[in-house]
Structure 1
């Protein structure tokens, strides 16, 4: 099993390319099930989750080809996928595939909309909370689906196709918004989704669906109006820049000091996080090709945060910000409101010398003068990269194990950081 080895102490300088967003690429790939024609996606990151989802879609009969594999091409640039679901051969998504990545559960929406039936395993994924599928089930029922649960599978069908309806989510859910929005594009009549997620990845999917011929109004708001159409057609769509990768590397620069241009990044996708980061003493400037992050040798100011759905502070940046606050000049409080079990990185940061106390969903971080390198273990995707950020400033050597979590969401992380001066390498076991 691979590990990441880091020797802390170097400031970061240079240009770091930002990949396409994994959280946008996955639902975009699933949207290929909605049409017989080819969906082409540009700027798709080379990640384990992307490869896993391609396998799952292939199981349903999706043919695909990949541009960007030739020798000599820039492997830090995104790839282009061509996805063709001209013939869906299987409407079952089996446990052995879905259990490896919960986003694959979202295929239930397009399969029901196009084929009128689906049998999809209940999902797995990162162990950071229950994340129930009730919102998905209730939303599909509102569109006329008949749903039963049979031995760990959701078995669904329709009587003559889905029908437009009113879906009100009791709590914002990105995955449920993706799924119901895709299903509604082919439903008969109008669907209204209330309390819809507003994340940029949801907007990116909606814009792609419109490009494919869907009729969606209210994009970017919490109320979506979708008029069902007979069918969708071919389209070419670039995946939006990864705001979580952007925020992660911005915090790495804030942690180490230095100056880095995050090439291809978009500031408008991270206004809340950047407002917080600027209060720590980090300078953030929009430039022609992205965003410049700068912090001089001054200390890091402590800042309190509360995670919230977009446009609030992203839960997917909470662990990274906690790593940054371990070196702040004072005490900060971090309140997690999205997932009930997303502080698993606390004990591993403590191994590096961090002082963090927990009280329910609130973490109190007492800044320390220095961190000391040590062996640590990743527990989930975002927790793993928080350990990398801490390791970049820890004295001596830090070794992060279970880096397969990193490979699910960060494309060639060690190559990007080492190109900016970090002493970091992957060690193959």
Structure 2
């Protein structure tokens, strides 16, 4: 067991920029396994700040974002180590209440730490977050909720400072109404409320599966939570939480991406595990597009031949997820007929359109609405992933394109997909990483494996 470590992003980018080279037109066949959910694992890691006991998280994907969150926790005094696909987190040594700017700026999810830090330490100073350039993601809902729990919150020089007034005092329960059902704010305030004095009621809360997964871990740690996964969450605060052993849910976005890989190559694949309740809107659109789906209780088998145009609109869960908008658009670029895609979550999440057009896609963009006229064949081209999900969309388009596609922007892809090229190659795709060495998280795992041996 060794401490989690990662070479700096600046060091990685100073080397030759890596790319994926994909020769398209191959049918895929076999089975692909889905890793644990990145968006869930990140916030579950932050929950270790709530207790002095150890937490073991199983089914944690080897991603650069995971390593980045580990570095954040270590900077605060925590210990993070990896054992195979598990993380062991120890928050007994937490001593700092100030999150480093460079870590929060590169990983938006690290802002989650403000809730548990405040609840346990009585104070937290966290810079305003950075992350993918897909649009404005303000923290007003976080700040408003912390104030409702009795915290004094100020924002100066780009740093959010939250304090529990009175020495040795706890946050107090309160009523929180979200003007928009923010996933991050719901999760941050859940972690703050579990150690607050009294009852907290959160209305118009986010309903995403990752919220319910966080509640599952917190309950395993001794928290008292009702209604997670619905619009109203009720939390009765406790004085302390204990350690737990908990498995992260499967990544619904990776599962959807892999199902789309089968659809865009007109292939038959089994993807496992898939929780159908987590992907209802996506599965409905795949069936409407002409895919045949069969769930065996654990995994999903998809078979695709002729793909029809469908319309979709992104909305908070349980509607169609914004994280699969770009990958699904790659599929629709190859469908028969005209599709209309409306992005309602992030204002800058159509940057992949220009790259798909470079590959021959017929897409007309008007503000947040894309009109897609399916073409018979995409053409391989050099393309750039502009954010995490746009990078995945480029990979999918490359699988279907004629000729060779070179995908750059892998620093985004590696944040959310562990060894995607290896998985796709295992079922018949012609894909390989060129330049720059292994993916950063893979280097981390190789180092740990040799140390452990």
Q: What's the TM-score once normalised by structure 2's chain length?
A: 0.91
TM-score normalised by structure 1 residue count: 0.96
2:178 is the counterpart of 1:172:
no
1:393 to 383, 386, 400: 400
Q: Is 2:66 the counterpart of 1:39? A: no
SS at match of 1:247: helix
Q: How many residues align?
A: 417
Q: Does 1:221 align with 2:221?
A: no
1:224-246 deviations in whole A, cap 9, x for unaligned?
00000001001111000000000
C-alpha separation between the residues in 2 aligned to 1:289 and 1:11? 24
Unaligned segments of structure 2, at least 5 residues? 1-16, 437-453
1:238 maps to which of 210, 233, 247: 247
Residue number among 313, 317, 321 corresponding to 2:328 in the alignment: 321
Q: Secondary structure at the match of 2:261?
A: helix
Task: Kindly report which structure 2 residues correspond to 1:96-115, keeping only aligned pairs within 5 A, or say none.
Answer: 96-115=102-121
Q: Tell me the residue number matched to 1:134.
A: 140
Q: Please name the residue that 2:283 is paired with.
A: 274
1:152 paired residue number: 158
Give unpaired runs (5+ residues) of structure 1: 69-78
Shift, 1:288, TM fit:
4.8
- From 285, 291, 302, the counterpart of 2:300: 291
What corresponds to 1:72 in structure 2?
Answer: none
Partners of 2:143 and 2:243 lie apart in 1 by 29
RMSD of aligned residue pairs (Cα, Å): 0.8
How much has 1:5 moved relative to structure 2?
0.5
**Once the 2 structures are TM-superposed, how far is the Cα of residue 268 of structure 1 from its aligned partner?**
1.9
> 1:89 deviation in Å?
1.3
Q: Following TM superposition, by how much is the alpha carbon of 1:172 offset from its aligned partner in structure 2, in angstroms?
A: 1.1
Q: What does the per-residue CA deviation read over 1:364-385, in whole Å, with 9 as the maximum and x for residues that have no partner?
A: 1110111110000010000000
For the residue of structure 2 that corresponds to 1:358, the secondary structure is strand
Aligned to 2:68: 52
The residue aligned with 1:249 is: 258
- Give the ranges of 4+ consecutive aligned residues of structure 1 lying more than 4 Å apart after TM superposition: none
Q: Would you say the 8 A contact 2:75–2:100 is kept in 1?
A: no
Following superposition, the deviation at residue 150 of structure 1 comes to: 2.0
Matches of 1:21 and 1:66 in 2, distance apart?
Answer: 17
Give the counterpart of 1:262 among 267, 271, 276.
Answer: 271
Shift of the alpha carbon at 1:167?
A: 0.6
- Structure 2 counterparts to residues 324-403 of structure 1, below 5 A: 324-403=331-410
